[in-house]
Amino acid sequence: MYYFLSMLATTDLGLTLSTLPTVLRVFWFGIGEISFPVCLTQMFCIHAFSIMESSVLLAMAFDCYMAICCPLRYSSILTSARIAKIGLGMVCRSLTLLLLICLLTQLLFCRSHVLSHSYCLYQDMIRLACTDSTLNSMYGRTLVLFMILDSVLIVLSCTMIIKAAVGIPSREEQAKALNTCVSHFCAGLIFCVPMVGPLYTSTARMLHPSATVHLFVPPVLNPIICSMKNKPIHKSLLRLLCQRLAWPGHGQQPRTHQEVGSLPT
């Protein structure tokens, strides 16, 4: 579980760092221009980290499923070596976007060069091309179908987990089983629901809010959700905050004037 949480934190951090620089340039300094290579790089990072986050949530769904439905086989199936292979597979899956970048470099953009966002998205760039982009669109839709498949599998795993938890005779054990995976349910929900808008919306007026929510809300809420429901992380964060907020010499009795003694004149 902690391996997957660290992967989720890494993808959230990468997604934020990929998007935030150009957003700050637009809203703080009014700089609304970006070069084509930089735009391609940002587009690759945004979509790559989005695919990685989808993969991590799918792996977390499988982790919760094994913990609830097959607890006796959990440690034998999800070994450290197998988790490392899963992480490597996530990275390799994201690198398939490099082919999409190569296809975009072959297009001509002779229409308006004004994007709908303060960052570069594939859907936004492809509509500006004035040459045949059929191959690009097919490849992009294939990647979208894989992300939709991830969402379907996440929902399926959550359904099976809930079904298995409801079948437990003890009410206490039911609550304990559901409480184990409630963080994953919330993380998958805030990722999958905003993602529907950018995938299925073609108009820029409707694309802007949904894409912004999809990119900025999960990295903000995931640390809160994971830290609030995970007791060791919760206690560590509280301990860290208490240490930062504590005054120097905290816990020592203040010295009175009589203890200091007389001062020289």
* Domain boundaries of the chain, sorted by first residue: 2-243
pLDDT at 28: 87
Can you give the pLDDT at residue 104? 77
Tokens of 194: 């905003």
Successive 10-residue mean pLDDT values, the chain, 265 residues: 86 88 84 82 86 88 84 85 89 82 76 74 77 76 80 83 80 76 78 61 48 76 76 77 64 43 40
Prediction pTM value: 0.77
- pLDDT computed for residue 200 by the predictor: 47
Q: Which residues contact 184 (CB under 8 A, 6 or more apart)?
A: 57, 60, 61, 63, 64, 158
What lies within 8 Å, CB to CB, of 156 at 6+ separation is none
Q: Alpha-carbon distance 130 to 35, whole Å?
A: 18
| String of DSSP letters for 85-123 | HHHHHHHHHHTTHHHHHHHHTT----S----SSSS--HH
pLDDT of residue 123: 75
The answer as to CATH 1.10.1450.10 being correct for domain 2-243 is: no
